[in-house]
Amino acid sequence: ETGVECKALNVDAAPNAAQGLVNTIDEIGRAVDILPHALEPTISEKINERKLDVRKWRYSFRSGDDDGLPGRIPTFEEVEKLLRKAKECQEFNHEEASWNNQVHLRLLESIFEEPIGGQCDSFNAVSCATARPHREFKLASTPVKMIDMCIYASTDGDAELSASIRKFCSTTPTRAVNHTDFEPISMRPLLLSIETKRPGVNWDTAQLQIGAWHAAQWSFLRWAVGEKILRQRAEEGIEIPQTDEEQQAFEANKLAALSTLGFIPGIIVQGHRWLLVLSTYEDGKTKLWADH
């Protein structure tokens, strides 16, 4: 593994596979079409009661059917409470852990969990500040601290998929479905990694941390793809690569399979700001695309 290369990410400079996502995130950042039209009367009433500027919401409501996204939309009151918590953290210079516990994780819970508790569907978030990449997949210069939280998929409702994951986990160095043996997500595929910082500080450190984390994730995926290709060859009666030429072809097959994934998404949070980052894997190197 040759490390991580940082690249600038914006709507005009993004990996081809991620262009649609980057455009969507840009629209979300401008509050365009982010809420169902059915909520407009309720939210407009709340805005008027609080004498807020209604013009900021004029492009926020979209027509049409439900978009089918996982989770739920927090209530106006839930968002207000989170905003008060975030204001407290900023004005009184709370530490990073306080931001995480009082604001960031609560925001994710308000999306993925019902108000009385319990998941809305198959996705949820968990704090994972102590998670580390497995030694077989991490960079030599991996930072001591990695990410703070992540979003994962729960397969509890799918017996067949759960059985497949258990079988896969029995073969991995981590004995888990991910590149880390962090127990709470050992049987839950990690979908989105999130690194947090206090407002306006340590941006370079955040990139280093999530970049090293993603590099380990790509290394794990490369290993998994290689194992699958070897199993397929064995089933077809083909020996493992022996010559340099065969090994080069084997590596090319792994890279071709990885390229179909396109990118891995992530988030860096700085106080109130949630910023999309992406990583791609090219020529044996992880590239981290981040908005500066």
Dist. CA 142–CA 4, nearest whole Å: 11
Dist. CA 217–CA 214, nearest whole Å: 5
Mean pLDDT score, 194-199: 97
Looking at residue 194, its pLDDT comes to 99
Looking at residue 141, its pLDDT comes to 86
Mean pLDDT score, 73-99: 97
Number of Cβ within 10 Å of residue 132's Cβ equals 19
Q: Which of 216, 229, 231 is nearest to 264 (CA)?
A: 216
Sign of the dihedral defined by the CA atoms of residues 12, 14, 16, 19, in that order: negative
Mean pLDDT score, 147-174: 97
Percent of the chain surpassing pLDDT 90: 84
Mean pLDDT score, 152-167: 96
Q: Helix, strand, coil % (nearest 5) of the chain?
A: 45, 20, 35
Per-residue pLDDT reduced to its tens digit, 10-55: 888 899 999 999 999 999 999 999 999 999 999 999 999 999 999 9
The yes-or-no verdict on residue 1 having pLDDT over 70 is no
The yes-or-no verdict on residue 3 having pLDDT over 90 is no
Read off φ and ψ for residue 5, nearest 5 degrees. -110, 130
Q: Is 161 helix (H, G, I), strand (E, B) or coil?
A: helix
Looking at residue 2, its pLDDT comes to 56
Looking at residue 22, its pLDDT comes to 95
Dist. CA 257–CA 119, nearest whole Å: 33
Higher pLDDT, 220 or 144: 220
Mean pLDDT score, 266-274: 97
Dist. CA 154–CA 118, nearest whole Å: 12
Could you tell me the pTM of the whole model? 0.94
Dist. CA 194–CA 274, nearest whole Å: 9
Cα atoms in the Cβ-side hemisphere of radius 13 Å centred on 226: 16
The pairing of strands 285-290 and 149-153 is unpaired
Looking at residue 242, its pLDDT comes to 86
Burial code (b: 16+ CB inside 10 Å, e: under 16) for 246-267 equals eeeebeebbeebbeeeebbbbb
Average pLDDT, the chain: 94
